[in-house]
Copies of this chain bind each other. A is one copy, B any other.
């Protein structure tokens, strides 16, 4: 059982939470907590085992927390996932493989692409693919078509697996802290378009990738995971692009794992990650 808590901090919180679980006969396998001092916020993720001795412990737990607390017990045990793509296969391919072999941590419900290129790959894994073209349409119409495409699947999370369109605040608002993006730079360096071209021009010696929740501000959402690889003067832009794909795939996979295991809590524009 996984319990995720976020609330105002107060003395005795760990004591009362752990006492309630102990009295219910639940064995704490892992208890992680963090206090953000400036905002006086308490965050916790608990893994517990065993059968509860009595039913009332969940009410007890809620009563022990401040009224504004966010308490989740076994949040979304089966998470439904939709993936948005454009043309690049590497992140989607990795997701399809993990899904096929039961190691994704979520059920891949569908894939939407603004280009048709990756439909064939999805069909190989019998995953529904919907081509939602963006060309010749205003963004509102495009996003409306995306939402229509998503509707039958009711996804809990969207993953932008190299989806090269910017989503409007109105769209993002429907999936608050539930859209995971992979950006092909070490944010906040090289936000925006063509980060590898920017990295090449600047002559950096490391390039990276960043997975983050999408918010209204492009490339400004809470960061979940980041990773880098070294580059040298021998790397042309296309070499960086190629090398970068490896780290993009790895970082997105890591971020999904963390999110789907309920290890990522969001506060303001930052994440608490209980690895």
Q: Which of A19-27, A74-82, A152-160, A163-171 contacts B (4 or more CB under 8 A)?
A: A19-27
Contact B89 A97 (CB under 8 A): yes
Residues in B with CB closer than 8 Å to A129 are none
| Chain B nearest CB, measured from A218 CB (Å) | 14
Does residue A114 face the partner (Cβ distance < 8 Å to B)? Answer: no
Contact of A250 among B14, B28, B36, B250 (CB under 8 A): B250
Does residue A226 face the partner (Cβ distance < 8 Å to B)? Answer: yes
Number of copies: 4
Contact of A269 among B34, B203, B272 (CB under 8 A): B203
Interface residues of A in 1-43 (CB under 8 A from B): 11-12, 14-16, 18-19, 21-22, 25, 27-31, 33-37
| Interchain CA distance A19-B202 in the complex, whole Å | 35
Residues in B with CB closer than 8 Å to A253 are 246
Does residue A223 face the partner (Cβ distance < 8 Å to B)? Answer: yes
Does residue A51 face the partner (Cβ distance < 8 Å to B)? Answer: no
Contact A222 B246 (CB under 8 A): no
What does DSSP make chain A's interface, helix, strand, loop or mixed? mixed
Contact of A124 among B125, B203, B225 (CB under 8 A): B125
Give 1 or 0 for each of A185-212: 1 = CB within 8 Å of chain B CB.
0111110000000000011111010000
| Chain B nearest CB, measured from A237 CB (Å) | 10
Give A231's nearest chain B residue, CB to CB. B226
| Chain B nearest CB, measured from A65 CB (Å) | 15
Interface residues of A in 77-132 (CB under 8 A from B): 89-90, 93-94, 97, 100-101, 103, 121, 124-125
Does residue A270 face the partner (Cβ distance < 8 Å to B)? Answer: yes
In the A-B complex, list the 3 residue pairs whose CB atoms are closest, starting with the nearest.
Answer: A203-B270, A12-B22, A15-B18
A-side residues, CB < 8 A to B, are: 11-12, 14-16, 18-19, 21-22, 25, 27-31, 33-37, 89-90, 93-94, 97, 100-101, 103, 121, 124-125, 186-190, 202-206, 208, 222-228, 232-234, 236, 242, 246, 250, 253-254, 269-273, 275
